Chains A and B, each alone.
Chain A
Amino acid sequence: MSERGEAGIPPREETMSKRTTGVLDTSSPPSVPARKVEAAVPDLLLTQEHQMCPGCGEPLAVRQFLETIDELDVATRAIAVVGIGCYTAFSGSMDVDLVQALHGRAPSVATGVKRMRPDALVFTLQGDGDMVNEGLQEVIHTAARGEKVTCILLNNGVFGETGGHMTATSVIGQRTKNSLDGRDAEYHGYPVLIGDLIAQLQGAAYVARGSVHNAGAVARTRKMFKRAFESQLRHDGFTFVEVLTMCPTGWFIPTADGPGYMTETLGEVHIMGELKVDGRIRTTQELHDENVAKQREHEAHFAAGGERGG
């Protein structure tokens, strides 16, 4: 049901006539009058360097929430609580006051931080192994209590850091290091759709599932971060943004196949969209229709040159 397709790719025939052997010099900014529309590295990232694999989707999400914090001008209120996974490496490069938590335990730590600093923007950064395996209880209770924190889930359906093993979000048929023949419902059971579970809880004010498989999805995820943070700052309740990310290493596929694999496997089960807005849980049909509309919108947006705010 998820909408697939790269943002705004014109048919090949149209681009072929423009092919040229002339490669432009991209080593320095343009010498003709121009304005920078997007900086390479977010201000809140101390270095662009990281050890994530080629084609990893996690940095795409990290950029978006860091830039959102700056867009909302709340950097000096931001406190991060980081779980344990590949993304833990960003604890050294995110220029945010930060607590390192144990695997699965970030939501309770975030609770303690927020209760003592109610005006801070407190968010967790966790993977699916961390949050949905080890820490399922923590995130559910934190959401049910309506703790005014934002839990951010980077969901790639595997334990990336330990080498690509099955997690509670891996989908049926997904091949992982400990489900080499594909996840089997009878033997391994079914995945947990954590965003959907959280949306059911009364304490959850805003719940969304984004993705980073193409530029449009990334742009849409950015808006989810913004709404989640704004909701926290209004003290509405618990907010949650799940982001489907590519893990070509954990999925045993070439990097370029990451987006397609994701939309065909994880994306078919963990449906993208705003699962709960203004306290109302959205129906599957609403999500499907919205996904189709948003995809078209973003194709047009990027094809037209992508002005920010569109």
Chain B
Amino acid sequence: MSEPSDREPGIPASNETGPERPRRAESTEVTSRGTVTIDVEHCKGCDLCIPACPPRVLTMSNAVNHMGYRYPELHPGCTGCAACLYVCPDFVFEVFRFDKPMVSAVTS
């Protein structure tokens, strides 16, 4: 199998989920047009939602659910596009769109 980065932008080469986070202290404004509820107890840790999310606002947790799987966690920037719901085999996501987009200041 050739390097995924040549042909499949966004799918991690291994089980890594999501890009590394920067270590610099910075304050940015992020707009969230939507949000999701995540039924963590039904997640089987397949990771498919992570690269599926266009704004890349999902990362896998460090904690595990009662089945022993890590599950997705949401960061600001969700657009409510429902891509995560489309690719989730376990019906974990419910998707909402805010009446008015929410702006949050985020710092790392």
Contact mask for chain A residues 14-37; partner B; CB cutoff 8 A; 1 contact, 0 none: 011111111110111110111111
Interface size class of A (residues with CB under 8 A): 35 or more
* Residue contact B11 to A55, C-beta cutoff 8 Å: no
B76 and A55 contacting across the interface, CB-CB below 8 Å: no
Which residues from A are CB-within-8-Å of B19? 12, 15-16, 19
Query: A77–B92 Cα gap in the complex (Å)?
Result: 29
Structural contact, A20 and B107, CB atoms closer than 8 A: yes
B64 to chain A, nearest CB (A): 13
Binary B-proximity of A191-220 (CB < 8 A = 1, otherwise 0): 000000000000000000000101100110
Q: Which of the residues A38, A39, A59 comes within 8 Å of B90, measured between beta carbons?
A: A59
Mark each residue of chain A from 218 to 240: 1 if its CB lies under 8 Å from any CB of chain B, else 0. 11000000000000000000000
Report the bound CA distance from A49 to B59 in whole Å. Answer: 23
Q: Which residues of B in the span 62-108 have a Cβ within 8 Å of any Cβ on A? A: 69, 73-77, 79-100, 102, 104, 106-108
Q: Does A303 contact B (CB under 8 A)?
A: yes
Is A84 in contact with chain B by the CB < 8 A criterion? no
Q: Which residue of A lies closest to B12 (CB)?
A: A256
Interface residues of B in 15-68 (CB under 8 A from A): 15, 17, 19-22, 26, 28, 30, 33-40, 42, 44-48, 50-52, 54-57, 59
C-alpha gap A301/B19 in the complex (Å)? 23
Question: Which residues of chain B are within 8 angstroms of A5 by Cβ–Cβ distance?
Answer: 7-10
Interface string of A153-174 (1 = CB under 8 A from B): 0000000000000000000000
Q: List the one stretch of A260-268, A277-285, A286-294 in contact with chain B.
A: A260-268
**Across the interface, which residues of A come within 8 angstroms of B9, CB to CB?**
5-6, 9, 11
Q: Tell me the bound Cα distance from A251 to B88 in angstroms.
A: 19
A24 pairs with B76, CB closer than 8 A: yes
